[in-house]
Amino acid sequence: MTDAPLMPKATAVWLVENTSLSFDQIADFCKLHPLEVKGIADGEVAAGIKGHDPITSGQLTREEIAAGEKDPAHRLQLAQSKVRLPEIKRARGPRYTPLSRRQDRPNAILWLLRNHPELKDAQIMRLVGTTKTTLLAIRNRTHWNSAALTPMDPVTLGLCSQMDLDFEVNRAAKERPPVEEDRKQTLVPAEITTAPRPEGFHDGDVFSSHPSAPAEREEEVSLASVFSKPKV
């Protein structure tokens, strides 16, 4: 086996103090650098670490250590455990919430409903470990303590990790149907943009969809009509 032993530095401390194995042998077995093992022997590394006996923990046998002490080229082999532990299967279900945090769970649900409406009910239930009944009561404002609820971040409350929250938010965003873009608006026609600009026009002004009608000319007023006597 090529796996490192349990507590490699503590194991190296014990081997340096209790055996005559070479630094290379100990470094190879504990997956450390030979200079690091030399530093342990000189007291410069792992000075406050208590040695861990690999024989007691079943990681090495006395025969294996004796063979390594006789032959410097011998590579120590990690002893295989005779006891096979059953593989732990993680049960799928609502997240366990500590008793001290359960009173904050409605506040976290309210925060998720307000800040992440894209989340499904199953995702919220999975994040904070709540039930469908409680979730619907908070959403419909029929919860017995609705008036006193305050939105609070579930990550800050310790009900879920930031990674779990980001994962569920990204997952909800991917499942959301894409929004169709409004392509009704087009560019202004060329006859409008190239039309002669009226007096007083500035670059910031906006053209209307239809060109404006030319201003009516003021009627020419003659001096004779102005100073003529009114007819009685």
pLDDT per 10-residue tile (average), the chain, 232 residues: 76 91 92 90 82 88 91 88 58 54 85 92 90 92 90 88 90 74 61 67 51 49 60 57
Domain ranges of the chain: 8-70, 99-175
CB-CB contact of 128 with 99 (8 Å): no
188's CB contacts (< 8 A; 6+ apart) are 207, 209
What is residue 110's predicted lDDT score, i.e. its pLDDT? 93
Q: Which distant-in-sequence residues (6+ apart) come within 8 Å of 22 by Cβ?
A: 72
In the block, tokens 């017995």 appear at 144
Give the Cα separation of 29 and 131 in Å (integer). 50
pTM for this model (two decimals) = 0.39
